[in-house]
C-alpha cells in the first residue's frame, strides 16, 4: 500500500515542487545522491574507488517528453565520461542510462531517437575505455529497451542490461540473455506493477530472484546481482561457490547510501562490488522510489522535512 502511494507520489509534479524546493530535504538527498554537477559525481566515485568499490553513474532524469532535454542528457553523459577519463577513473566507473531520459518516451519515433542517442553515449564510453548499462523502467518499456540493447550490443557487446525479478516474463528474458559475455543486472524491480504482469508477494519475488540468479550464475554471462537483501546476497555467494564461479566473474551491486558497511564487508571478502551513484537536479522521482522500498528511509525523509535543525 505504502509502496503504491510513494511510487505514485514519485509521479506527482505538485508534490515534487514542494519537496524539491524545501531546504530541509537536503540532508536526505545528500545521503542518496552524489550532488548536482559532473564534478560532484566524479568526486564521489573517486572516493568510492579508493575503498575498492566500483561505480555506475546515473544522471538523474527520466521520461522526458522534450527532444531538447533528451539531447541535453546525451551531452551531459558525454561530458561526464570525458571528465571521468580526465580524472583517470574509467577503470572503475561506468554509466547507467535510462532510455526514457534520452528519448524513448517521445512518441512514435521514441525508440529510434533513444537508439541513436544511446549509440552516441556508448561510442564515447568505448573511446574512454568503459561501458554503459541501460536501466530498466516500468514493464511497458521492456520490449523496446531489450530491442535497443540487442542493437547496441552489435556495436558494443559489453553493454549491460537490467532485468526485474518481480515480473512474470523475466525468467524467460533471463534465459534469453544468459550467454557468454552478456552483462545482466538482476534487481527485484522498483516500479509498482499489477498482478497481471508481476509477482506481488515478497516471498514470490524473492523466489523468482533466486531462480533468475541461479540461471545467470550457471551461464557464461556476467551477472550483476543488484540487491541489499542479506538473504539474497548470502544465497548469491553460496550459488557462486557451488557453480564454481571465480569472484571476478560476477559482481554485487548496491545503491549509494544503502548498506555502506555491507558494501565494504563484501569488498573485504574479495567480492567485486559496484555502487550505483546518481547525480543531478532531478532527484525527486529517484528518491521517492527509495522511500517506497524502505520505510525507515521514509522516516528519515519525513524527519528531515519537519526538523528545524
Question: Interface residues with ligand FDA (CB under 6 A)?
Answer: 135-136, 162, 164, 185, 187-191, 226-230, 253-255, 258-259, 276, 293-294, 297
**Catalytic residue among 185, 206, 274, 290, which?**
185
Q: Is 185 a catalytic residue?
A: yes
Instruction: Count CA within 13 A, CB hemisphere, residue 151.
Output: 14
Instruction: Pick the catalytic residue from 58, 135, 173, 212.
Output: 135
Q: Min. distance of Cβ 86 from ligand FDA in angstroms?
A: 25
Nearer to ligand FDA, 130 or 253 (CB): 253
Cβ proximity to ligand FDA: between 108 and 261 the closer is 261
How would DSSP label each residue in 217-232? Answer: HHSSSEEEEE---HHH
Give min distance, CB of 255 to ligand FDA, in A: 5
Distance between CA 50 and CA 48 in Å, rounded? 5
Q: What's the min distance (Å) between Cβ of 267 and ligand FDA?
A: 15
- DSSP-assigned beta bridge partners for residue 279: 59
Cβ-based nearer residue to ligand FDA, 135 or 282: 135
Residues contacting 267, CB < 8 A, separation 6+? 51, 52, 53, 273
Nearer to ligand FDA, 125 or 275 (CB): 275
- CB-based contact 247:273 (threshold 8 Å): no
- Whether 135 is a known active-site residue: answer yes
- Torsion angle, alpha carbons of 35, 39, 45, 48, to 10: -80
CB 141 within 8 A of CB 163: no
Kindly give, in sequence order, each residue whose CB lies less than 8 Å from that of residue 168, ignoring residues fewer than 6 positions away. 197, 198, 199
> CB of 232: closest distance to ligand FDA in angstroms?
6
Q: Report the catalytic residues.
A: 135, 185
Amino acid at each position: 500500500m505504502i509502496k503504491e502511494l510513494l511510487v505514485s507520489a514519485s509521479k506527482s509534479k505538485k508534490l515534487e515542487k514542494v519537496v524539491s524546493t524545501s531546504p530541509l530535504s537536503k540532508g536526505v538527498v545528500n545521503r542518496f545522491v552524489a550532488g548536482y554537477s559532473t564534478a560532484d559525481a566524479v568526486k564521489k566515485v573517486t572516493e568510492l574507488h579508493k575503498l575498492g568499490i566500483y561505480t555506475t553513474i546515473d544522471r538523474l532524469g527520466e521520461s522526458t517528453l522534450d527532444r531538447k532535454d533528451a539531447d541535453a542528457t546525451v551531452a551531459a553523459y558525454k561530458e561526464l565520461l570525458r571528465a571521468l577519463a580526465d580524472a583517470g577513473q574509467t577503470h572503475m566507473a561506468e554509466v547507467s542510462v535510462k532510455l526514457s531520459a534520452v528519448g524513448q518516451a517521445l512518441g512514435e519515433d521514441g525508440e529510434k531517437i533513444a537508439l541513436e542517442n544511446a549509440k552516441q553515449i556508448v561510442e564515447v564510453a568505448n573511446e574512454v575505455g568503459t561501458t554503459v548499462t541501460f536501466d530498466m523502467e516500468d514493464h511497458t518499456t521492456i520490449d523496446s529497451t531489450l530491442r535497443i540493447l540487442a542493437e547496441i550490443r552489435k556495436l558494443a557487446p559489453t553493454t549491460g542490461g537490467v532485468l526485474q525479478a518481480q515480473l512474470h516474463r523475466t525468467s524467460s528474458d533471463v534465459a534469453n540473455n544468459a550467454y557468454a559475455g552478456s552483462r545482466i543486472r538482476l534487481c527485484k524491480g522498483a516500479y509498482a506493477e499489477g498482478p497481471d504482469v508481476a509477482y506481488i508477494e515478497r516471498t514470490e519475488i524473492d523466489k523468482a530472484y533466486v531462480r533468475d540468479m541461479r540461471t545467470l550464475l550457471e551461464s557464461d554471462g556476467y551477472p550483476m546481482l543488484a540487491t541489499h537483501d542479506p538473504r539474497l546476497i548470502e544465497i548469491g555467494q553460496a550459488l557462486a561457490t557451488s557453480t564454481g564461479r571465480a569472484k571476478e566473474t560476477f559482481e554485487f551491486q548496491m545503491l549509494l547510501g544503502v548498506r555502506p558497511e555491507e558494501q565494504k564487508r563484501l569488498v573485504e571478502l574479495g567480492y567485486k562490488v559496484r555502487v550505483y551513484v546518481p547525480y543531478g537536479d532531478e532527484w525527486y522521482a529517484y528518491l521517492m522510489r527509495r522511500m517506497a522500498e524502505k520505510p525507515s528511509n521514509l522516516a528519515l525523509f519525513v524527519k528531515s522535512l519537519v526538523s528545524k535543525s
